[in-house]
Structure 1
Amino acid sequence: MGAVKTKRMPRAVREQQMLDAAVRTFGRRGYMAASMDEIAELAGVSKPLVYLYLNSKDDLFTACIRREAHALTEAVRSGVRTDQPADRQLWDGLLAFFTHTAENPDGWSVLHLQARIHGEAFAAEVAAMREEIVAFVTQLIVVAAREAHRDPDLPEREVAGLAEALVGAAESLAAWANATPGVTARQAAATLMNFAWAGLGDLMEGRPWAPPAP
């Protein structure tokens, strides 16, 4: 294999090339199987340059997690218009989530699969992203519930568990959708919307389900 030729370009652009190659390699081959040689070759740079920019394999993987986590949270946030009704906001958020994970399967693999099983530090990065999304969904639900109940003091804890469950379901469904040929982002979003909104809709109307008496 001949020496890798590199063109002069801004450091930030070159670094993004390396991260693109790393996300693709980590996402498809897994953290343990991925090699810095393979990442460097895919990025079109020398291996020493990857180390110069990103220090180590661990640091490179952390940078990938942070970039993909930021991209996902921004996609969800930007997909929601808060001037819309509650069901439309939830639909837009779910559609943005499933569209992003479908369009970036390697990034989703890094976040949902690889980062969770290869060390506490990596898992903590993903947990921080997840907490941000759960907090965002909690606010969507609590604002709608307060308006529906005409109770501005309705505590967040009343809906925090719902947001946690909804995000968990979205994560599992995204993994399934990406592994199942023919399932579109819109179909995945509609599946979860149909599953979730029946209960959330009743909650907004003041008709929550209650367990039977012991």
Structure 2
Amino acid sequence: MPREVRERQMLDAAVATFARHGYRAASMDGIAELAGVSKPLVYLYLNSKEDLFTACIRREAAALVRAVRQGVDPATPPDRQLWEGLGAFFTHTAEHPDGWAVLHNQARTSGEPFVREVATMRADLVAFVTELIAAAAREAHDDPELGDREVVGLAHALVGAAESLAGWANTDGSVTAKEAAATLMNFAWAGLGNLMEGERWTPR
């Protein structure tokens, strides 16, 4: 069997195991058994449990970011692009619940090296969403009033809300990817629309 196929089997088994049991409780014996290989072979390919978990995080993070970017058609209007991006995000997290559990639940609570890996993924998503919001502002105004700092802040808020909503949707089980995307789109676009028209909320 080619190395890349064997390694993919091991990573698939590891993602399922880490998602179910967490990093600390997961055993290399269990991962090897689920992958249908010997434990020494897992160590030969992926060195250590820490390296294996890191490889899982990186693979799942790359797949999520790729799905979101590929889900957006740059030829469509900005609101449509944001809708497509959200739809791709929620579709991917719903179709890969173990991968999302590793990224959203396990990696964030298993120590600094893993938290840093997730932060890299989140930074990629924030950068992409920042581009979408900035494009929408440019379309709304020749000289958009939204400053760079405000656009980045909105992108962080939107990505954080999407992560939280995906966690809820996957736990609930009855919320579809389209419903989750529509919920966040209605919440976000109404506010973004007001901002782009120059209507800002201020405390009375």
Residue 208 (str. 1) matches residue 199 (str. 2): yes
Query: Does structure 1 conserve the Cα–Cα contact (< 8 Å) formed by 2:57 and 2:102?
Result: yes
Aligned CA-pair RMSD = 1.3
Aligned length: 204
The residue number in structure 1 matching 2:6 is: 14
1:92 to 55, 80, 84: 84
Please name the residue that 2:45 is paired with.
53
Q: Distance in 1 between matches of 2:15 and 2:173?
A: 22
1:156 to partner: Cα distance:
2.0
Unaligned runs of 5+ in 1: 1-8
Question: Which residue number corresponds to residue 29 of structure 1?
Answer: 21
Query: What is the SS of the residue equivalent to 2:163?
Result: helix
Query: Distance in 2 between the 1:118 and 1:15 partners?
Result: 23
- Are 2:129 and 2:155, in contact at CA under 8 Å, matched by a contact in 1? yes
Partner AA of 1:212 in structure 2: P
Based on CA coordinates, which of the two structures has the bigger radius of gyration? Answer: 1
Cα distance between partner residues in 1 of 2:131 and 2:34: 41
Equivalent of 2:30, from 25, 33, 38? 38
What is the identity, as a one-letter code, of the residue corresponding to 1:164?
H
1:78 aligned residue:
70
> Which one of the candidate residues 99, 102, 119 is aligned to 2:111?
119
Secondary structure of 2:126's partner?
helix
**CA distance, structure 1, for counterparts of residue 102 and residue 185 of structure 2:** 25
Task: Give 1:6's aligned residue.
Answer: none
Letter in structure 1 aligned against 2:52: L
CA distance in 1, matches of 2:116, 2:44: 25
For 2:34, the aligned partner's letter is L
Can you list the C-alpha shifts for 1:97-142, whole angstroms capped at 9, x where unaligned?
A: 0000000010001001111111100000000000010010001101
User: Offset of 1:33 from its aligned partner?
Assistant: 1.3
**For 2:53 and 2:195, how far apart are their aligned partners in 1?**
41
Query: 1:141-152 maps to which residues of 2 (within 5 A)?
Result: 141-151=133-143
- After TM superposition, the structure 1 = structure 2 runs for residues 143-182 of structure 1, keeping only pairs within 5 Å, are 143-151=135-143, 155-182=147-174
Gaps of 5+ in 2: none
Counterpart contact for 2:145–2:198, Cα < 8 Å: no
1:152 CA displacement: 6.7
* Contact 2:64 2:89 (C-alpha < 8 Å) held by counterparts: yes
For residue 55 of structure 2, what is the aligned residue in structure 1?
A: 63
For 1:112 and 1:123, locate their aligned partners in 2 and report how far apart those are by CA, in whole Å: 10
In structure 1, what is the Cα distance between the partners aligned to 2:109 and 2:28? 20
Once the two structures are TM-superposed, the CA of residue 182 in structure 1 deviates from its matched residue by: 1.1
**How far is the alpha carbon of 1:157 from its aligned partner?**
1.5
Distance 1:118 1:181 in 2: 25
User: Contact 1:80/1:93 (CA < 8 Å) preserved in 2?
Assistant: yes
Does the 8 Å CA contact 1:98/1:185 hold for their aligned counterparts? yes
TM-score by length of 2: 0.96
